[in-house]
Amino acid sequence: MKNVQHKAALVTGGSRGIGAAIAKRLGRNGTHVAITYHTSAAQAEEVVHTIRESGVKAIAIRADSKDPQAVTAAVKQAYEYLGSLDILVNNAGIAVYKDFSLFTLEDFDQIVAVNVRAVFAGSLEAIKYMGQGGRIIHIGSCQAERNPFPGGSLYAMSKSALTGLTKGMARDLGPKGITVNVVHPGPVNTDMNPSDGVHSDDQRALLALRDYATTEDIASLVAFLASSESSNITGAGLVSDGGTSI
Protein backbone atom coordinates (compact mmCIF):
# COMPACT_ATOMS: atom_id res chain seq x y z
CA MET A 1 0.00 0.00 0.00
CA LYS A 2 2.86 2.37 -0.77
CA ASN A 3 0.48 4.56 -2.75
CA VAL A 4 -0.85 6.03 0.51
CA GLN A 5 2.54 7.52 1.37
CA HIS A 6 2.33 11.21 2.22
CA LYS A 7 -1.47 11.05 2.36
CA ALA A 8 -3.28 12.40 5.45
CA ALA A 9 -5.90 10.49 7.43
CA LEU A 10 -8.22 11.03 10.37
CA VAL A 11 -9.33 7.97 12.35
CA THR A 12 -12.07 8.67 14.88
CA GLY A 13 -11.97 6.64 18.08
CA GLY A 14 -8.35 5.80 17.38
CA SER A 15 -7.00 5.38 20.89
CA ARG A 16 -7.72 1.67 21.26
CA GLY A 17 -9.07 -1.47 19.66
CA ILE A 18 -9.89 -1.45 15.97
CA GLY A 19 -9.33 2.30 15.64
CA ALA A 20 -5.81 2.11 17.09
CA ALA A 21 -4.92 -0.78 14.79
CA ILE A 22 -6.18 1.15 11.75
CA ALA A 23 -4.27 4.29 12.72
CA LYS A 24 -1.03 2.37 13.27
CA ARG A 25 -1.42 0.43 10.02
CA LEU A 26 -1.92 3.63 8.03
CA GLY A 27 1.12 5.13 9.74
CA ARG A 28 3.24 2.12 8.81
CA ASN A 29 2.09 2.56 5.23
CA GLY A 30 3.45 6.11 5.22
CA THR A 31 0.26 8.04 5.89
CA HIS A 32 0.19 11.02 8.26
CA VAL A 33 -2.49 10.28 10.86
CA ALA A 34 -4.72 12.18 13.27
CA ILE A 35 -6.87 10.28 15.75
CA THR A 36 -9.70 11.35 18.01
CA TYR A 37 -10.33 10.09 21.50
CA HIS A 38 -12.77 10.95 24.26
CA THR A 39 -11.40 9.79 27.61
CA SER A 40 -8.35 7.61 26.87
CA ALA A 41 -5.72 10.37 26.66
CA ALA A 42 -2.78 8.20 27.73
CA GLN A 43 -3.69 5.45 25.27
CA ALA A 44 -4.14 8.00 22.51
CA GLU A 45 -0.66 9.40 23.11
CA GLU A 46 0.80 5.88 22.99
CA VAL A 47 -0.81 5.35 19.60
CA VAL A 48 0.53 8.69 18.37
CA HIS A 49 4.02 7.82 19.61
CA THR A 50 3.92 4.50 17.76
CA ILE A 51 2.75 6.16 14.54
CA ARG A 52 5.50 8.78 14.71
CA GLU A 53 8.09 6.01 14.90
CA SER A 54 7.18 5.29 11.26
CA GLY A 55 8.49 8.75 10.35
CA VAL A 56 5.12 10.41 9.73
CA LYS A 57 3.12 13.12 11.46
CA ALA A 58 0.59 12.12 14.10
CA ILE A 59 -1.70 13.95 16.52
CA ALA A 60 -4.37 13.00 19.06
CA ILE A 61 -7.43 15.26 19.25
CA ARG A 62 -9.91 15.09 22.08
CA ALA A 63 -13.49 15.04 20.80
CA ASP A 64 -16.74 13.72 22.21
CA SER A 65 -18.55 12.06 19.30
CA LYS A 66 -21.91 12.85 20.89
CA ASP A 67 -21.20 16.52 20.14
CA PRO A 68 -21.37 17.24 16.40
CA GLN A 69 -19.56 20.56 16.84
CA ALA A 70 -16.66 18.75 18.52
CA VAL A 71 -16.55 16.26 15.65
CA THR A 72 -16.53 19.03 13.06
CA ALA A 73 -13.81 20.91 14.95
CA ALA A 74 -11.68 17.76 15.15
CA VAL A 75 -11.84 17.25 11.40
CA LYS A 76 -10.79 20.85 10.81
CA GLN A 77 -7.97 20.56 13.35
CA ALA A 78 -6.72 17.37 11.70
CA TYR A 79 -6.67 19.10 8.32
CA GLU A 80 -4.83 22.13 9.69
CA TYR A 81 -2.21 20.03 11.51
CA LEU A 82 -1.59 17.53 8.72
CA GLY A 83 -1.82 20.09 5.92
CA SER A 84 -4.35 18.05 3.94
CA LEU A 85 -7.02 15.42 4.45
CA ASP A 86 -7.34 12.50 2.04
CA ILE A 87 -8.80 9.73 4.20
CA LEU A 88 -11.52 9.72 6.86
CA VAL A 89 -12.18 6.56 8.86
CA ASN A 90 -15.37 6.90 10.90
CA ASN A 91 -14.58 4.29 13.53
CA ALA A 92 -15.82 5.78 16.82
CA GLY A 93 -18.90 3.98 18.09
CA ILE A 94 -20.74 2.72 21.14
CA ALA A 95 -22.92 -0.28 21.91
CA VAL A 96 -25.90 -0.39 24.26
CA TYR A 97 -27.42 -3.84 24.83
CA LYS A 98 -30.70 -4.31 26.67
CA ASP A 99 -33.97 -6.14 26.33
CA PHE A 100 -36.02 -4.02 23.96
CA SER A 101 -38.59 -3.23 26.64
CA LEU A 102 -35.87 -1.66 28.79
CA PHE A 103 -34.54 0.79 26.21
CA THR A 104 -35.18 4.49 26.74
CA LEU A 105 -35.33 7.46 24.42
CA GLU A 106 -32.05 8.55 25.96
CA ASP A 107 -30.46 5.26 24.84
CA PHE A 108 -31.79 5.84 21.33
CA ASP A 109 -30.53 9.42 21.17
CA GLN A 110 -27.10 8.47 22.49
CA ILE A 111 -26.42 5.62 20.10
CA VAL A 112 -27.71 7.51 17.09
CA ALA A 113 -25.64 10.56 18.06
CA VAL A 114 -22.39 8.61 18.20
CA ASN A 115 -22.89 5.87 15.61
CA VAL A 116 -24.77 7.83 12.94
CA ARG A 117 -24.86 11.60 13.47
CA ALA A 118 -21.13 11.86 14.19
CA VAL A 119 -20.40 9.95 10.99
CA PHE A 120 -22.59 12.38 9.03
CA ALA A 121 -21.11 15.47 10.70
CA GLY A 122 -17.51 14.34 10.29
CA SER A 123 -17.99 13.35 6.66
CA LEU A 124 -19.75 16.62 5.83
CA GLU A 125 -16.79 18.58 7.18
CA ALA A 126 -14.18 16.30 5.64
CA ILE A 127 -15.38 16.69 2.07
CA LYS A 128 -14.53 20.40 2.29
CA TYR A 129 -10.87 19.39 2.26
CA MET A 130 -10.94 16.27 0.06
CA GLY A 131 -10.34 16.16 -3.66
CA GLN A 132 -9.96 13.51 -6.34
CA GLY A 133 -8.91 10.24 -4.73
CA GLY A 134 -10.48 11.01 -1.35
CA ARG A 135 -11.54 8.06 0.77
CA ILE A 136 -14.29 7.87 3.39
CA ILE A 137 -14.59 4.58 5.25
CA HIS A 138 -17.22 3.84 7.86
CA ILE A 139 -16.89 1.04 10.40
CA GLY A 140 -20.19 -0.80 10.66
CA SER A 141 -20.95 -4.27 12.00
CA CYS A 142 -22.11 -7.64 10.73
CA GLN A 143 -25.08 -7.04 13.03
CA ALA A 144 -26.35 -4.57 10.44
CA GLU A 145 -27.60 -7.62 8.56
CA ARG A 146 -27.79 -10.35 11.15
CA ASN A 147 -28.69 -9.98 14.81
CA PRO A 148 -28.45 -13.45 16.39
CA PHE A 149 -28.64 -12.42 20.04
CA PRO A 150 -31.26 -10.49 22.03
CA GLY A 151 -30.57 -6.97 23.24
CA GLY A 152 -28.93 -5.51 20.15
CA SER A 153 -31.85 -3.72 18.50
CA LEU A 154 -30.47 -0.19 18.72
CA TYR A 155 -26.90 -1.16 17.90
CA ALA A 156 -28.03 -3.11 14.83
CA MET A 157 -30.23 -0.23 13.74
CA SER A 158 -27.40 2.28 14.01
CA LYS A 159 -24.99 0.13 12.00
CA SER A 160 -27.64 -0.67 9.41
CA ALA A 161 -28.13 3.08 8.94
CA LEU A 162 -24.52 3.32 7.78
CA THR A 163 -25.31 1.08 4.83
CA GLY A 164 -27.87 3.53 3.47
CA LEU A 165 -25.67 6.51 4.26
CA THR A 166 -22.74 4.88 2.47
CA LYS A 167 -24.72 4.25 -0.69
CA GLY A 168 -26.15 7.76 -0.79
CA MET A 169 -22.81 9.41 -0.12
CA ALA A 170 -21.08 7.27 -2.73
CA ARG A 171 -23.59 8.38 -5.35
CA ASP A 172 -23.27 12.05 -4.43
CA LEU A 173 -19.48 12.15 -4.03
CA GLY A 174 -18.56 9.91 -6.94
CA PRO A 175 -18.36 12.84 -9.40
CA LYS A 176 -15.80 14.45 -7.08
CA GLY A 177 -13.62 11.33 -7.22
CA ILE A 178 -14.29 10.46 -3.55
CA THR A 179 -15.14 6.85 -2.69
CA VAL A 180 -17.30 5.90 0.29
CA ASN A 181 -17.47 2.39 1.73
CA VAL A 182 -18.42 0.64 4.95
CA VAL A 183 -16.58 -2.25 6.60
CA HIS A 184 -18.68 -4.69 8.62
CA PRO A 185 -16.58 -6.60 11.19
CA GLY A 186 -17.80 -9.59 13.13
CA PRO A 187 -16.41 -10.51 16.57
CA VAL A 188 -13.01 -8.90 17.00
CA ASN A 189 -10.71 -9.49 19.95
CA THR A 190 -10.66 -6.13 21.75
CA ASP A 191 -10.96 -4.99 25.33
CA MET A 192 -14.66 -4.28 24.66
CA ASN A 193 -15.29 -7.79 23.32
CA PRO A 194 -12.42 -10.06 24.39
CA SER A 195 -12.11 -13.49 22.81
CA ASP A 196 -12.17 -15.00 26.31
CA GLY A 197 -15.12 -12.95 27.54
CA VAL A 198 -18.38 -14.10 29.11
CA HIS A 199 -20.21 -14.34 25.78
CA SER A 200 -17.26 -15.29 23.58
CA ASP A 201 -18.16 -18.96 23.18
CA ASP A 202 -21.65 -18.05 21.97
CA GLN A 203 -20.17 -15.65 19.41
CA ARG A 204 -17.46 -18.09 18.36
CA ALA A 205 -20.11 -20.72 17.64
CA LEU A 206 -21.48 -18.46 14.88
CA LEU A 207 -18.13 -18.20 13.11
CA ALA A 208 -17.40 -20.41 10.13
CA LEU A 209 -13.70 -19.87 10.91
CA ARG A 210 -14.35 -20.62 14.59
CA ASP A 211 -12.25 -17.82 16.01
CA TYR A 212 -12.36 -14.08 16.58
CA ALA A 213 -10.72 -11.70 14.14
CA THR A 214 -7.76 -9.64 15.23
CA THR A 215 -7.79 -5.87 14.99
CA GLU A 216 -5.14 -6.23 12.27
CA ASP A 217 -7.60 -8.20 10.15
CA ILE A 218 -9.89 -5.19 10.06
CA ALA A 219 -7.05 -2.69 9.73
CA SER A 220 -5.71 -4.46 6.64
CA LEU A 221 -9.08 -4.19 4.89
CA VAL A 222 -9.38 -0.52 5.77
CA ALA A 223 -5.84 0.09 4.52
CA PHE A 224 -6.81 -1.47 1.20
CA LEU A 225 -9.89 0.75 0.92
CA ALA A 226 -7.76 3.78 1.78
CA SER A 227 -5.38 3.06 -1.08
CA SER A 228 -5.63 3.61 -4.83
CA GLU A 229 -5.92 -0.17 -5.21
CA SER A 230 -9.61 0.25 -4.32
CA SER A 231 -10.29 3.12 -6.72
CA ASN A 232 -13.20 1.32 -8.41
CA ILE A 233 -14.94 0.31 -5.18
CA THR A 234 -17.55 2.68 -3.78
CA GLY A 235 -20.92 2.36 -2.09
CA ALA A 236 -19.95 -1.11 -0.94
CA GLY A 237 -20.35 -2.96 2.33
CA LEU A 238 -17.30 -5.18 2.82
CA VAL A 239 -17.76 -7.90 5.39
CA SER A 240 -14.89 -9.27 7.47
CA ASP A 241 -16.71 -11.41 10.02
CA GLY A 242 -15.20 -14.87 9.84
CA GLY A 243 -18.37 -16.18 8.26
CA THR A 244 -20.78 -14.97 10.95
CA SER A 245 -23.31 -13.74 8.42
CA ILE A 246 -23.24 -16.81 6.14
Catalytic residue numbers, as ranges: 155
Closest to 108 measured CA to CA, from 74, 143, 154: 154
- Report yes or no: 77 and 34 within 8 Å, Cβ to Cβ: yes
Helices (H), the chain: 17-28, 41-52, 68-82, 105-112, 118-126, 153-173, 200-204, 215-226
- The CA distances from residue 67 to 86, 105, 108, 164, 204, in Å, are 23, 17, 15, 22, 35
